[in-house]
């Protein structure tokens, strides 16, 4: 079976050698193969060149005045911009310990002078192919991470990357917001499915931007319902205020969207504050981050038993907001599984001017 090397098109190679004849010979050899070649007569020039325009590969002589190849390689590996560049050492030294040192400082290969043309080209092509594969692998890892970030909070993604699992966590106190679009089923029933999806996508994309802006976490959406947490998974003492700001901005944002008949969309929003709650990642193939606790259930009740266009909050949330926000007592309502509760309407921010 024949094994053919796949030449990387127009790869950029930096050749570093203090002997002009060697520099010229290697440069000519690589240029004839279609590579773009940069040249450096000493280590300082090589470092400046690599940092200004990082090459795909470096051929590096060891014995050079002022700064030898080992020191050049160490400095390359010490900087984020150049640490991933593969370095092949080329030297007349054929001692085992010199080769060991070359690999210890970060070299990927070692060619002994006088070198053979075919050997140089084969080793160069091999490491360029390996670099291309590594770059492709890193890109796939970045794609996977971006997909995870679309599903899970960033702190949870970091935990999964480090530990390959995310442990359930208990939070002593947090705030939760539930919202749904008023009369969604009735108003969207006559719309084509693509228009319904497009409308929801625009609305939820706007809410996602608001969540990021206010530092709160979207937990999930179900149909036209949107569930947000403040203080989970990133603990913050002002979670109730962050959720209040999110709710007020959501009310402003939803008014900019209209049904086909020209009527603006409206939200029903409910908020509760308290704890403890437990948050965890569920699933093996399709991850989902969720939060459980009585506090969450009551926040959901505040939404379902709310009023279109208004933000209903519990007494616990009221206690956190009363100094900075305008609130109006609704009175006592009967909440499923909780009995009578005094609730409030969040009206807006207090004006201190």
pLDDT in tens, 101-133: 999 999 999 998 888 889 999 999 999 988 888
* Displacement of CA 258 from its chain's centroid (Å): 33
Among 83-92, 157-166, 283-292, 301-310, the range with the most confident prediction by mean pLDDT is 301-310
Whole-structure pTM value: 0.65
**Residue 282 — very low, low, confident or very high, per pLDDT cuts 50/70/90?**
confident
pLDDT given at position 139: 81
The yes-or-no verdict on residue 211 having pLDDT over 70 is: yes
**Residue 284: its pLDDT value, please?**
67
Distance between CA atoms of 94 and 43, rounded to whole angstroms? Answer: 21
pLDDT band of residue 8 (cuts 50, 70, 90) is: very low
CATH homologous superfamily of 12-148 equals: Response regulator (3.40.50.2300)
pLDDT at 9 over 60: no
Q: Does the pLDDT value for residue 42 go beyond 70?
A: yes
Mean pLDDT confidence for 47-67: 93
Tell me what the pLDDT averaged over the chain comes to: 90
Residue spans in the chain of domains classed CATH 3.30.70.1230:
165-349
Please compute the mean of the pLDDT values over residues 8-26 and round it to a whole number: 87
pLDDT for the residue 157: 78
Q: Tell me if the domain spanning 165-349 has CATH number 3.30.70.3460.
A: no
Locate CATH 3.40.50.2300 in the chain.
12-148
| Least confident residue range of 108-122, 145-159, 192-206 | 145-159
Instruction: List the single range of 82-86, 157-161, 253-257 with lowest mean pLDDT.
Output: 157-161
pLDDT the model gives residue 336: 87
Is the pLDDT assigned to residue 306 strictly greater than 80?
Answer: yes
């Amino acid at each position: 079976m024949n094994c053919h090397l796949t030449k990387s098109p127009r790869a950029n190679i930096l050749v570093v050698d203090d002997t002009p004849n060697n520099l010229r010979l290697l440069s000519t050899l690589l240029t004839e193969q279609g590579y773009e070649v940069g040249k450096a007569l000493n280590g300082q020039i090589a470092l400046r060149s690599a940092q200004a325009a990082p090459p795909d590969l470096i051929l590096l002589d060891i014995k050079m005045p002022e700064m030898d190849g080992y020191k050049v390689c160490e400095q390359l590996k010490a900087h984020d911009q150049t640490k991933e560049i593969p370095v092949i050492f080329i030297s007349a030294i054929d001692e085992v310990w010199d080769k060991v040192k070359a690999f210890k400082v970060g070299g990927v290969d070692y060619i002994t002078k006088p070198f053979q043309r075919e050997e140089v080209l084969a080793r160069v092509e091999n490491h360029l192919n390996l670099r291309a594969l590594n770059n492709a692998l890193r890109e796939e890892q970045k794609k996977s991470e971006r997909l995870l970030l679309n599903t899970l909070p960033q702190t949870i993604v970091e935990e999964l990357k480090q530990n390959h699992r995310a442990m359930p966590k208990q939070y002593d106190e947090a705030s939760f917001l539930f919202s749904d679009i008023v009369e969604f089923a009735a108003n969207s029933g006559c719309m084509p499915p693509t228009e319904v999806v497009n409308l929801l996508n625009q609305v939820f994309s706007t809410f996602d931007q608001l969540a990021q802006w206010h530092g709160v976490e979207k937990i999930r959406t179900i149909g036209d319902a949107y569930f947000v947490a403040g203080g989970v998974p990133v603990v913050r003492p002002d979670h109730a205020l962050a959720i209040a700001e999110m709710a007020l901005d959501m009310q402003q944002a939803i008014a900019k969207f209209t049904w086909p008949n020209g009527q603006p969309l409206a939200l029903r929003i409910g908020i509760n504050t308290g704890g403890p709650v437990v948050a965890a990642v569920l699933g093996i193939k399709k991850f989902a981050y969720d939060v459980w606790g009585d506090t969450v259930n009551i926040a959901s009740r505040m939404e379902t038993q709310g009023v279109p266009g208004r933000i209903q909050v519990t007494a616990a949330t009221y206690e956190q907001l009363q100094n900075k926000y305008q609130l109006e007592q609704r009175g006592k309502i009967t909440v499923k599984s909780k009995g009578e509760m005094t609730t409030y309407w969040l009206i807006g921010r207090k004006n201190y001017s």
